[in-house]
Amino acid sequence: MQELQYLTKFRILTEIAVGGMGAVYLAEQIGVKNFRKTVAIKTIRTSLIADEETLEMFLGEARLVADLIHENIVQVYQLGESDGMYYVIMEYAGGPNLETFMVRHKFMKKSVPVDIAAFIVSRIARGLDYAHKKRDYQGKRLKIVHRDVSPSNIIITYQGGVKLTDFGIAKALNMKVPDEHEVIMGKYSYMSPEQVRCEGTDLRSDIFSLGLVAYELFTGKIIYDVDDGLALLEALKKPVPYPHLLNSAVPPALSAIIMKAIAHNPDDRYASAKEMQEKLEYFLCDSGFSFSNETLAKYVELLFPEARKKQGNS
């Protein structure tokens, strides 16, 4: 049988973002008979190719998440290489990241509504639980840990979806990644105590990071606004006020859910992201809140009226 050749090509539309490792572009995948599919292309800087550790991180992300197919995780379609440049073809999740989402609220001098914030955090927890429990084809648990759950890695789509992205420093038991006992990776402001101390991480580290994100969503305050490990270790010694003391709109019951997630001792946190997700959903139901992707989509449209143009709406 004649081997089928890959006939697809891509057309770059615009640059979405530039970071330390490379850039992300909005593109069209072009096929036969005027086929078009909007995708995102993530590249790695050519200057970093010589760094085998960095390259392995980039390639590891693609391999790691290739089979993570979940509505709360940005999907990876393809890993490629062209003239020494590596790239990943990814799902395009159109919408602001959570960092931009919170900045817009600060600009408008308003707080994120409690029900909207709780729904967003519950969806992130849902995606994390799926990744944490993912198994390979032999049924063996991969033991994936994201290790960089932070506002810039969470996307709120214009359709009201919530998606976790950038597993570039994720750890899986059966993959070669930088030894976390020797290399600190991630954003200091969202690291767990065990992560910054290079003690090794498991899924409870992601729960701690998600708790920090949740705290910021509900209060507008970053608990550990630091730039290095020593500053974080010092900051970890200080008590953290309950969220409802900073934002009276946050009920004490919800405040307690967040504080359990950011317990310093991993054994005192939720045993799984699923448990945290369910606590948040029970809170929403018990409080009489109606929550759905459609509810969030309508809110995002009000918050980002320019989204209408991006969606092709009149």
The pair of structure tokens assigned to 223 is: 């608990």
Sign of CA dihedral 19, 21, 23, 28: negative
Among this protein's residues, is 129 annotated catalytic?
no
Sign of CA dihedral 144, 145, 146, 147: negative
In terms of Cβ atoms closer than 10 Å to its own Cβ (0-12, 13-18, 19+), residue 114 is buried
The pair of structure tokens assigned to 16 is: 């979405």
Active-site residue, from 129, 148, 166, 206: 148
Q: Which residues touch 19 (CB under 8 Å, ≥6 apart)? A: none
Q: Which residues touch 26 (CB under 8 Å, ≥6 apart)? A: 12, 13, 14, 15, 16, 38, 40, 92
Cβ atoms 230, 263 nearer than 8 A = no
Known catalytic residues are 148
